[in-house]
Structure formats: C-alpha cells, structure tokens
C-alpha cells in the first residue's frame, strides 16, 4: 500500500506547527519542573482545585487498581480490565466496557461509577449513538451487535452474516457517524462494515488487521486504525482511500477524533502510550512507555495497557481505559 499519500497529509498539515509548539513548550515546562526538584518518575504535584495545568496532565478519574467490578466514586470504584469507552455528549456521561464481566458501566465526569448492565456476553467494543440515544456493542464470538438502552436494557440489534470466504466475521471497534450509521471494523477479512439504522449492511475492503475506527465530523470521513501494518487508513465520503504510516502505530488499539484541533489520538497498549497524529506526523502524546500507573504531566505519566479512548469536545479532554491498570484516566488542558 502507498504510504502517507497527499490526501491525508493535506488534512493534517495545518495543525503541524501547533503540535511542534506544544512539544517545545512541554519540554520547557519539564526542564523547569526538574530544576525545582520535580521528579520525572516520582511523585508529581497535582494542580490545585480550580486551577488549570499549563501542560497536558494525566489523572485517574476512577478505579482503585484492583481487579474487581465495584461501583463507587473515584478510587473507591473498581474495574475489571476495562477495554473500551464511549461518550454521551448530550448528558456528559461516559460508558465503560468490561468484557470479562459482560458489563457496561456508567461513569460521570466527576468519577462516579454505576453498573448499567451485566447482560452482555463477550463484548469487544462500545459506542454511543446520539441519533437514537442508545449504546451499541459488538459481540465477536457470535458476530452480532447488541443495542443497550440507557436504562440498561439489552437487545440483539443485528446478526452480521458470515462472509463466503471467512466465516464468521470478527467484529472490532465501532464509530457512529452523524446519520446514525454504525461503522464497524472486521479484523480478519479486512472489511469496514457499515450498518444503517434500518439494518441495511454494506462492506468496504480495508487492510486486514483493522481494529480502531473513528468518524471525522467535519469532513465526513472514516479513519481506520490498522494495528498490524501500523497505519491509519482514511476512507473518504467519496470512497477514496489514503494512508499514513508509523511504527508507533503498530499494536495500536483505538483512535478518536479531536474536532477542536482537527487531529487524532491513538492508544497503544503494547507501548503503554497515547499517541497524537497531526500534520501527517505521529508522536507520543502521553506515557513514558513503562507499564505502570502514575499520574502527572503527560511526558512523565505512565499507563498500563491503554485500550479505549474518547475525546470530549465540551471539556477538551481525553478519557482512556487503562486495561491492565483497571482504571479510567483523564488527560486535560492540552489545547
């Protein structure tokens, strides 16, 4: 496949200078912190309530770190290997997926966790559909899609037919566009499956190894993250394909679109980092690469297998499921 073609480069190029300035500023702040006795890997000073950190800052929104599924607030709550996260932008609520317990958990931006349902089988991904106010989850083992009401009611939305050559389909992540269509990656055959609200299904061929997917609300394009090839594949609304590649993207799990800066963020559990994609450039946004749980400035914070990610446009914040750390992390003040 051709790499870094012009279509996607043009899209990212206008934010490249902003990214370089952000990185330079973060480096300067890190040097100042070190000069004042701060430690890159030790305890860091958490911003006082009501203040805004001057550089991207990672904090734990909820989760004790213990492997359990317990409701509560902040560190009193527990997750069992949370794998994905979805946002209801209307209510300002987050939903966290726990495949091991068959659960979807409701999470407020203040850190209060309540179990929505434990009636899922072995879900792989979760997304919120603003068009109908429901959540949708993929079930790879049964090649089906579940619909979850915000009251916790679970019903089967659709059984995805097996392909002629590779039955059954291995469903991956979900992105929902402005028309309420479900855009679902199929990991083995390399398809982008589009399901309309009326359950009509079409497929578009993408590279095998597709996993993460997100929708660009500005241009109407879909972006597919390929963990095997280390690529982001743009599928335009006109049906054309273009690519951007980086070794940093190999092993990536999820991708989200930042409409404020017209850029993207990617989780990479194999590298314990969150990546930023802007101007055709892929860079490390947060995480040292060590598998640990440490809050602080993005450059010195640590993650433990981050998987799901979602961008909250209203708060200008990222929310990340740290699967091996059993927590949900928040990254704030990076505009």
Residue 128: band (very low, low, confident or very high) from pLDDT cuts 50, 70, 90 = very high
For the stretch 134-138, contacts whose Cβ atoms lie closer than 8 Å and that sit 24 or more positions apart, written own/partner, are 135/86, 135/95, 135/104, 136/174, 136/176, 136/182, 137/97, 137/104, 137/174, 138/171, 138/172, 138/173, 138/174, 138/184
pLDDT of residue 207: 85
Res. 42: pLDDT tops 60? no
Distance in angstroms (rounded) separating the CA atoms of residues 76 and 18: 38
pLDDT of residue 8: 44
pLDDT of residue 169: 66
Res. 311: pLDDT tops 80? yes
- For 65-123, the pLDDT digits (tens) are 999 999 999 999 999 999 999 999 999 999 999 999 999 999 999 999 999 999 999 99
β 263-268/273-278 pair status: antiparallel
Q: Which position has the token pair 């273009």? A: 242
pLDDT of residue 168: 61
Residue 141: band (very low, low, confident or very high) from pLDDT cuts 50, 70, 90 = confident
Strand partners, 115: 105
- For 219-245, the pLDDT digits (tens) are 899 999 999 999 999 999 888 999 999
Average pLDDT of the segment spanning 253-279: 95
- For 154-185, the pLDDT digits (tens) are 999 999 887 655 556 688 999 999 999 999 99
Token duo for residue 232: 């982001």
DSSP states of 24-59: HHHHHHHHHHHHTT--SSS--PPPPTT---SS-EEE
Strand partners, 73: 112
pLDDT of residue 118: 98
Residue 137: band (very low, low, confident or very high) from pLDDT cuts 50, 70, 90 = very high
Can you give the pTM of this predicted structure?
Answer: 0.84
The residue extents of the domains of the chain are: 6-25+53-332
Contact (CB, 8 A) for 81 and 116: no
Q: Which position has the token pair 């749980």? A: 293
- For 272-298, the pLDDT digits (tens) are 999 999 988 999 999 999 999 999 999
Top-level class of domain 6-25+53-332: mainly beta
Query: Percentage of the chain surpassing pLDDT 70?
Result: 81
What are the residues whose beta carbons fall under 8 Å from the beta carbon of 284, sequence distance 6 or more? Answer: 248, 273, 274, 275, 276
Rounded (to 5) percent helix, strand, coil in the chain = 10, 45, 45
Average pLDDT, the chain: 85
Contact (CB, 8 A) for 81 and 98: yes
Query: Percentage of the chain surpassing pLDDT 90?
Result: 71
pLDDT of residue 253: 96
What are the residues whose beta carbons fall under 8 Å from the beta carbon of 24, sequence distance 6 or more? Answer: none
pLDDT of residue 167: 54
What are the residues whose beta carbons fall under 8 Å from the beta carbon of 260, sequence distance 6 or more? Answer: 313, 316, 335
Choice between 37 and 256, residue whose per-residue pLDDT is larger: 256
């Amino acid at each position: 496949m051709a790499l870094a073609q012009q279509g996607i480069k043009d899209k990212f190029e206008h934010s490249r200078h902003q990214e370089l300035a952000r990185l330079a500023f973060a480096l300067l702040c890190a040097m100042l912190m070190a000069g004042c006795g701060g430690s890159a890997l030790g305890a860091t000073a958490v911003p006082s309530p009501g203040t805004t950190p001057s550089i991207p800052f990672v904090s734990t929104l909820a989760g004790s770190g213990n492997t359990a599924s317990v409701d509560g607030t902040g560190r009193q709550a527990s997750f069992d290997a949370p794998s994905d996260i979805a946002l209801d932008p209307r209510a300002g609520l987050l939903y966290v997926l726990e495949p091991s317990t068959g659960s979807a958990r409701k999470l407020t931006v203040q850190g209060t966790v309540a179990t929505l349902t434990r009636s899922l089988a072995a879900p792989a991904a979760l997304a919120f559909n603003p068009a109908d106010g429901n959540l949708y989850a993929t079930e790879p083992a049964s090649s089906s899609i579940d619909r979850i009401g915000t009251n916790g009611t679970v019903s089967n939305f659709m059984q995805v037919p097996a392909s002629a050559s590779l039955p059954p389909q291995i469903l991956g992540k979900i992105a929902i566009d402005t028309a309420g269509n479900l855009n679902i990656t199929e990991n083995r055959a390399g398809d982008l499956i589009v399901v309309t609200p009326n359950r009509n299904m079409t497929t578009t061929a993408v590279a095998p190894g597709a996993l993460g997917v997100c929708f660009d609300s500005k241009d109407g394009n879909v972006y597919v993250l390929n963990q095997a090839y280390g690529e982001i594949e743009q599928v335009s609304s006109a049906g054309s394909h273009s690519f951007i590649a980086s070794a940093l993207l190999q092993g990536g799990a999820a991708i989200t679109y930042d409409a404020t800066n017209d850029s993207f963020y990617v989780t990479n559990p194999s590298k314990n980092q969150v990546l930023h994609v802007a101007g055709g450039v892929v860079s490390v946004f947060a995480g040292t690469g060590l598998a640990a749980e440490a809050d602080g400035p993005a450059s010195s914070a640590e993650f433990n297998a981050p998987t799901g990610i979602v961008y909250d446009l209203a708060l200008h914040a990222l929310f990340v499921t740290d699967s091996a750390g059993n927590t949900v992390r928040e990254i704030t003040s990076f505009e």
